[in-house]
Amino acid sequence: MINGFAAEQILFNLIKNSSKIKGFKLPSSEELIKIASSSKLGIKRIKSATPYVLEEFGVDYRNSETNQLTRVIDWRVVPNTIILDYIFGIDAVVNVLGFVVAIDATSNQNTIEDKQIKLTKLKSLWKQIGIDKACVCYINQTNYTNLWQSLKSVTKQSKVIAFSL
């Protein structure tokens, strides 16, 4: 069995090695935070992601008046892919047949439905990025079906769907 990080890496490699799947230019970190900050749901997601982002990207700041040391986040230095993952729940964004598709990869079959629900709830946020469709990609083995065909089927759906590789 593979872990979530390995599943994401497998997905990234499959995308990179496909000539039919095109990339998508993500907004900057600042733009993503601005989008997320524009709604209650986005603010809630930022708050829930903050401890993890602080741990990885926090900078120590000393208050000149109190001399108190505080760990803060400069969102400009947090990679946009991290913000996309932690706040928007998206691991990859690709262009398939002119549709911009968000992908949340998982190696845990028990999380598929929860991830579909999460992406559905976050639709108002990812739509502001320019994403048209979203899906959950379950990766559980090293024999992979055609990623292109699976993503092509996503473009024909009106809801967040799941597929396995």
Q: Give tens-digit pLDDT for 50-109.
A: 999 999 999 998 888 888 988 999 999 999 999 999 999 999 999 999 999 999 999 999
Residue 164: predicted pLDDT: 83
Residue 150 has pLDDT above 80, yes or no: yes
Rounded distance between C-alpha atoms, residue 8 and residue 16, angstroms:
12
Query: What is the average pLDDT across 106-114?
Result: 93
Residue 129 has pLDDT above 80, yes or no: yes
Residue 142 pLDDT class (50, 70, 90 cuts): low
Residue 147: predicted pLDDT: 85
CA distance to 39, 56, 60, 141, 146, per residue, from 63 (Å)? 30, 21, 10, 51, 54
Residue 122 has pLDDT above 90, yes or no: yes
Beta bridge partners of 70: 61
Q: What is the pLDDT of residues 18-59, one digit of tens each?
A: 889 999 999 999 999 999 999 999 999 999 999 999 999 999
Residue 124: predicted pLDDT: 95
Position with higher pLDDT, 120 vs 6? 120
Residue reference for tokens 């090695």: 17
